[in-house]
A and B are shown apart, each in its own frame.
Chain A
Amino acid sequence: AQSVTQPDIHITVSEGASLELRCNYSYGATPYLFWYVQSPGQGLQLLLKYFSGDTLVQGIKGFEAEFKRSQSSFNLRKPSVHWSDAAEYFCAVGAETTDSWGKLQFGAGTQVVVTP
């Protein structure tokens, strides 16, 4: 069965420090991978996506993610965190099958707190 795991429920990071959020997936087909961010009181905003090609993907707001097939991982990184990056981050996985109908499997989320 397909699954998405975000091992870290909560991460605290200092402003200006680097950030890495982990995402592991279990999927039978070639996956499509996404990272979304949700600020308080808001919906989810797409940060980046991976479908194929270069395994290092650049996204908005200075984020990047690396797909590692051998580790079934798609970790999100940012070299220098800003206070505005405090939010909840969701990894999502999907696969192109005839009956997928856009059915993404979301992880439980990682809450990021940024300290001064």
Chain B
Amino acid sequence: ETGVTQTPRHLVMGMTNKKSLKCEQHLGHNAMYWYKQSAKKPLELMFVYSLEERVENNSVPSRFSPECPNSSHLFLHLHTLQPEDSALYLCASSRNPGTSYEQYFGPGTRLTVT
């Protein structure tokens, strides 16, 4: 599936670094999502954007800062992360927000915090 792309695919960062994850969808969708996938845990929804407006924030620590400049692009800015933040970060999009619309996922960014 090349409809949703994510860069970088792998990222190693120290706890004092600042980095950003990028997601781009080529499907003409209006909603975009960030998920965190940790080993042995269910997928966790972090943020939902609808038409560039954040509509959901699942009590995510402030060291994660999302940005949605337009309906095709979504960023996740990272700063002063902790080792427990190491995970696969998945971006997804759907035609509109709401669970009646299936979500299309990108390949993810494997983040390691050292």
Question: Which chain A residues have a beta carbon within 8 Å of chain B's beta carbons?
Answer: 4, 32, 34, 36, 41-46, 49, 51, 90, 92, 94-96, 100-109
Given contacts A34-B102, A107-B42, contact A102 B107 (CB under 8 A): no
Docked Cα-Cα span, A107 to B37, in Å, equals 12
Which positions 93-114 of chain B face chain A at CB distance < 8 Å?
94, 97-108
Contact present for B43 and A90 (CB under 8 Å): yes
Contact present for B99 and A42 (CB under 8 Å): no
| Interface residue total, chain B, C-beta cutoff 8 A | 29
Q: Which 5 A-B pairs have the closest CB atoms?
A: A94-B99, A43-B105, A106-B43, A44-B105, A102-B97
Question: Which chain B residues have a beta carbon within 8 Å of chain A's beta carbons?
Answer: 1, 4, 6, 31, 33, 40-43, 45, 48, 50, 55-56, 90, 92, 94, 97-108
Return chain B residues, CB-CB under 8 Å to A92.
43
Among candidates A36, A49, A101, residue contacting B98 with C-beta atoms closer than 8 Å: A101
Contact present for B100 and A96 (CB under 8 Å): yes
Return chain A residues, CB-CB under 8 Å to B90.
43-44
User: In the complex, which residue of chain A has the Cβ closest to the Cβ of B4?
Assistant: A43
Docked Cα-Cα span, A49 to B104, in Å, equals 13
Docked Cα-Cα span, A46 to B101, in Å, equals 11
Docked Cα-Cα span, A95 to B50, in Å, equals 18
